[in-house]
Amino acid sequence: MLAPPASAPTRSRGSRPRTSWDLFRVIRTELTVTTNGPLANALVLDLSRALAGPHAAMMLGDLGARVIKVESPGQGDDSRIWGPPFVGDESTDATYYLSCNRNKESLQLDLKSASGHEALRELIRRADVLIENFRPGVFDRLGFPPAVLEELNPRLVVLSISGFGSEGPESERPGYDLIAQGESGLMSITGPDPDHPTRVGVPIGDLLAGIYGAFGVVSALNDRNQTGRGSVVRTSLLAALVGAHAFHGTAWTTAGKVGAASGNHHPQIAPYGAFRCADGTVQVAVGSEAQWRKFADLLGLDAEDERFASNSERLANRDALIEVVENVLLTKPRDHWLTSCNEAGVPAGAVRAIDEVYEWEQTRSQGLVVEVEHPVVGKIEIPGPPLRFETFTGQRLGRTEHTAPPTLGQHTSAVSEWLESR
């Protein structure tokens, strides 16, 4: 839990505002029920739209923070119309929007109007975190450059997410995940082979930027607890994707080797990939020589075959290895090999469709599906948070309930009344 500020000055109307810490009890009683979690005493303003910023804000909300989503009147977040599919027959919100906006409240504000501008200033005075993903310079031109934010709230932590960074020759370019996946080199190492660059099946640049951003915010809040000073955290789709190059990055920077797409097989480990079997596909991940010997024995292969005796030889003869392995796997169905590999201590798994994943007992046991009450269509299931918190004795900590992504302006009246009453 965040530590309170060293001092908490009182505030009367027209005087310097109290810190957001003093107003948390007011927010809890006037807006929604109290939350729990490591960030239960944090107030987050989410001015972002689409995916990267909203995903970061949702992560903070999952941790217990109060998240007020500030949206433009009328349309709101761009992702609300990114469908079909939409939420039931009576809602105009796309399921895309639902994926990144749980545990939030929606406030409509016209930031170009005098009243909207002043309302945002009041919110900033009370906030702990502000998240924005405007193109570089836009938020400044709206009247909120870093100097103004610091004047309004010296303890504020700002998360700014852009497409290609806040400076540099291409900083003004708009940020779209598809474009960033190509520009970052990710597509060149994804796909069946080097001739068919392929995007990742989810907007991975947006998601990683959101995850890195939330990590940066939590780090900045910890720093603020020590120094009493806020800061600006910056990341971008480009930075997030380059930061995820992993071994491909160091293969180039230290060894001069340019990575290339290798399909469903690992470029540096073998056998490590997807193999055909009698009724579909099974994935096998042989990560050590001991596992190779177990796998070879399971398939009736000679582990000391000079073509496959070490990982280096197996990589050099990977096509032959795949053929030899598949010739055996094709003789029996997937479930047989999954069971046999598990018993032998060889990592293996199925390739599940999305519907299978959400019906899988293991998925549900981890809290990865939650039921929420949508204000229009009633009870619905949505993906749940990937983090859990427990005591050393196994007692669950953090949020016990989650709220549905809000409809546009659902909490405008409550938030407006709260602002006017202070």
What would the mean pLDDT of 21-31 be, rounded to a whole number?
36
Does residue 231 sit within a domain? yes
Residues 207 and 349 in one domain: no
Q: Is residue 255 a part of any domain in this protein?
A: no
* Same domain as 32, residue 169: yes
In a domain, 153, yes or no: yes
Same domain as 159, residue 51:
yes
* Tokens (6 digits) for 227: 């120094």
Does residue 3 form part of some domain?
Answer: no
Last-in-domain residue among 355, 380, 413: 355
Mean pLDDT confidence for 197-204 = 96
Residues 6 or more apart whose CB falls under 8 angstroms from that of 140 comprise none
Is residue 189, in this structure, part of any structural domain at all? Answer: yes
Domain count, the chain: 2
CATH (domain of 98):
3.40.50.10540
CATH number at residue 334: 3.30.1540.10
Q: Is 360 within a domain? A: no
- Tell me, yes or no, whether 177 lies in a domain: yes
Closest C-alpha among 83, 154, 71, 163 to residue 119: 71
pLDDT of residue 90: 64
Both 220 and 306 in one domain: the answer is no
Helix (H) or strand (E) holding 222: helix 204-227
Q: Which of 46, 62, 93, 206 is catalytic?
A: 206
Range of the domain at 346: 272-355
| Residues 160 and 232 both lie in one domain | yes
pLDDT in tens, 43-64: 999 999 999 999 999 999 999 9
Over residues 294-299, the mean pLDDT reads 97
Residue 173 lies in a domain: yes
pTM given for the model:
0.87
Q: Cβ distance 72 to 142 under 8 Å?
A: no
Residue 206 among the catalytic residues: yes
Strands 129-132 and 157-162: parallel
Residues 66 and 171 in one domain: yes
Distances 241 to 8, 59, 186, 194, 196 between C-alpha atoms, Å: 41, 19, 7, 19, 19
Residues 182 and 99 in one domain: yes
106 and 220, same domain (yes or no): yes
pLDDT(239) > 60: yes
| 8-state DSSP, 189 | G
